Amino acid sequence: MKKFSTETDARILIDDLLRKAGWDPADKSQVLTEVPIHDVSWMVAEPPSPYGPSSNDATSESDKTSIRRADYILLDRRGRSLAVIEAKRSAIEPYTAKQQTLPYAEKIGAPFIFLTNGELIYFWDYKNDDARIVNSFYSRRDLERLVEMRATRKPLATVEIPEYYIRQGETRQLRPYQREAMKALDHAVELSKRRFLIELPTGTGKTDLICLYLKRLFQAGRAERVLFLVDREQLAKQALEAVQDILSQYSSYWLRPGMARQEQQITVCLLQTMISRYPEFTSGYFDVVIADECHRSIYGAWQTALTHFDAFHIGLTATPSPYIEQNTFKFYQCPDNQPDFAYSIQQAFAEGYLVPYKFATGITVILAEGAELDDETYDPIEFERKWTNEDTNRKMMEEFDKLAWENYKELAPGQKIGPGKAIVFAITKHHAARLTYYLNELHPELKGQYAQVITSDVANADDLIRQFRREDYPQVAVSVGMLDTGFDCREVLHLVMCRRIRSPILYQQMRGRGTRTAPHIGKQKFVIYDFFENHKYFNDSDTDIFARVGGGRASVREHKPPKPPGDLIELGLEDEWLHAVTYVEVGPEGERVDKREYITNWERTIQAAAKDDPIIQKVRSGEPLSEAEEQALAERLNRPKMYFNEENLRRAYRRPWGNLIDFIRAALGSLKIKSREEELTENFQAWLVAKSLTPQQAQYLSLLKNRGIARGKIELKDLFDPPLSILNAAEEGIKLFGEKGLKEIIEDMNEAVFGS
């Protein structure tokens, strides 16, 4: 970013930032500049609380001699002062102007202050908190909402925590741990804690809990707008269903990639969508941001969509873990790597809120010694070819099917149709197709309805998922990635692991697909058929459960299996081979297509269709699409032979945060691909907002950032070479962080900002 040497230069940038937040610096009914603080004749007489003194108060002669001026004053729709902006040139840390600016705001009754040098922006709600870095200015509506909520909010203690609530037409009782979690959240809110991490195992009602808590925040006047971020379509559907069920009196919608933004109270959105849409929102637009399965969000490229919003952040996770690259606990400001509230899977099993599991014994072990070679780590098809064949695939399915039919009545006495619902986790799409074929071959009387492949390349995947949940057949769903996480079917009695798993997070997520209770079938236990002995890798058994456990601030038992070889990174998506593999696997049989060829075919297809396809023409012209138009377009593109869908396009473009509309715009040339410098600057800003740093530390790291952009990373020796040595960077860094701390912060910055 260009360095602005004077305050005047900085104001050019500040004016632009104000426009992006919806302000018009040229409109004197919105923004005043260079305002002498003694001259308050422009203010409205007798403004009501909490705005402060009257505009018509007499001004003394001593006041009139003052030459102090406010750089900017932002006004509400009635002409009253909302915020003072203090502008500094880029070389000055804006935080240092706090005490200079505070008397200005107090004099004119402005409740908020912004401090900025055009690069860093601090927002200061000076009656309630210290100044903190934000990504953008607040809009007029944002600031007015804050003032209104300050005046009308009431203590959370006055809002009763319910004993019962209605969900899906049935009365449910609030569980003790859900009540305790709500009390812990209350305590955090009252203490002005701005980030909160909840650890609850899969199946223990995280979404219901959050919806009930949001109702409390609405009722107490603590929130008006909420963002619910998820990273799977299935999770988005489940979240919206829960919101519209429990919070039916509050408006809500799903913000899809091509849709126009709506002014609703609750926005459900995919993280992949928000990464490209967040510039449409100011930092103050949302009061609360929920991140479901938040351990997948704390990465350089992903966290921008979180840290952009200066809100009360609540992270939900089933598996906070010491194995992820970016520290979830640091983002949520949790001391000692402990969540703010935790309820362990062991407690849930003991108290009957989850169904325990056992491992099938005596089954064939497919994985042999020497399976940790780099080619298998990075190439799933080579792994499938080397470690499975027609005989082993057939044998796995025969053994699973035989055992499942033998024990399903013991697992769930009320299950009428055998063998009960099962999920098979395959290595590749080709592998899934073969396993499904062998299962259906075992039950010819069902004419191919016994087992069904469910992957992104199946045109009616949503219908198949709904059918699997609600109808007798298919009894078995075979999938790659799609059902690993974010999939909820409480009748599942069998999990079949026909692939190797080395991510502890993914392992716990997959295992969690079977833990939900199902009283209507008398579900007592489920079985894991682990043909690749993943549970031995994680030291997991039904008597000594592998888990990242908590329980408030209780001690934690850690398992630390060895990491896979090479630079395999836990990306947080289902595709562990996103960057390393050169092909895309498409279609029901998993045909290999080179990624470059796939992108070329995609671009040609879209460019040709744009001539007469009205929906693609709307995308090209930037017009919003309806939900029906988006769905129709997605279905039309996801057809043989290329199977153009988001999952395949993300892999081809190696961009896990892309969405279908963005990929169409890229093919049409109407989407500006951000430069490396722009992406790194955004990543740095997101990382900086997420850290708990002093203003001096933030300013120092902003200096190092430019070196990192130029060189691709920062090395300690750079501090001793020009131009950083001229600025005495090494000595300053040691003063601010200490020797060890300086090394650690540079390593963290390289990993989170430049490594992504």
pLDDT tens string 382-409: 777 777 888 899 999 999 999 999 999 9
Whole-angstrom Cα distance, residue 551 to residue 549? 7
Altogether, the residues listed in the chain come to a count of: 756
Which residue is it, tokens 């630079």? 567
Q: Does domain 357-537 match CATH 3.40.50.300?
A: yes
Comparing 113-117, 278-282, 410-414, 682-686, the range with the smallest average pLDDT is: 682-686
Whole-structure pTM value: 0.81
Determine the longest span between alpha carbons in the chain, in angstroms: 99
Range of weakest confidence among 189-203, 411-425, 663-677:
663-677
Q: Is 420 left (phi over 0), alpha (psi -120 to 50) or beta?
A: left
For 355, the token pair is 């169904």
CA separation for the pair 59, 432 (Å, rounded)? 80
Q: In this predicted structure, what is the pLDDT of residue 268?
A: 97
CA distance 289 to 316: 11
Looking at residues 301-325, what average pLDDT do you find?
74
Quick check: 698 pLDDT over 90? Answer: no
Please give the CATH number for the structural domain made up of 156-343: 3.40.50.300
Identical fold, 156-343 and 357-537:
yes
Complete DSSP assignment for 258-302: TSPP---SEEEEEHHHHHHHGGGS-TTS-SEEEEETGGGT-SHHH
Give pLDDT, residue 40: 43
pLDDT of 728 reads: 86
Higher-pLDDT residue of 725 and 712 is 725
Helix axes 429-442, 390-411, angle to 10 degrees: 60
CATH number of 7-152: 3.90.1570.30
Query: Is the pLDDT confidence value at 337 over 80?
Result: no
pLDDT > 90? residue 693: no
Residue 66 confidence (pLDDT) above 60: no
Closest by alpha carbon to 355, among 467, 566, 509, 515? 515
State the pLDDT confidence band at 559, using cuts at 50, 70 and 90: very low
561 and 529 Cβ atoms separated by less than 8 Å:
no
pLDDT at 227: 97
Over range 175-204, report the average pLDDT: 92
**What residue ranges do the domains of the chain occupy?**
7-152, 156-343, 357-537, 594-668, 676-754
> Which pLDDT score is estimated for 302?
66
Assess contact for 114 and 146: CB atoms under 8 A. Answer: no
Residue 368: pLDDT above 60?
no
- Exposure string over 324-346, b if 16+ CB within 10 A, otherwise e: bebbbbebbbbeeebbbbbbbbb
| 642: nearest Cα among 705, 611, 600 | 600
The Cβ-side half-sphere exposure at 680, using a 13 Å CA radius, reads: 21
Percent of the chain with pLDDT over 70: 85
pLDDT at 472: 95
Stretch 706-717: mean pLDDT: 81
As a whole number of angstroms, the distance between CA 416 and CA 486 comes to: 26
pLDDT at 500: 84
Q: If pLDDT is split at 50, 70 and 90, which confidence band does 50 have?
A: very low
3-state secondary structure of 593: strand
Mean pLDDT of the chain: 83
Q: Hey, what amino acid is at 303?
A: Q
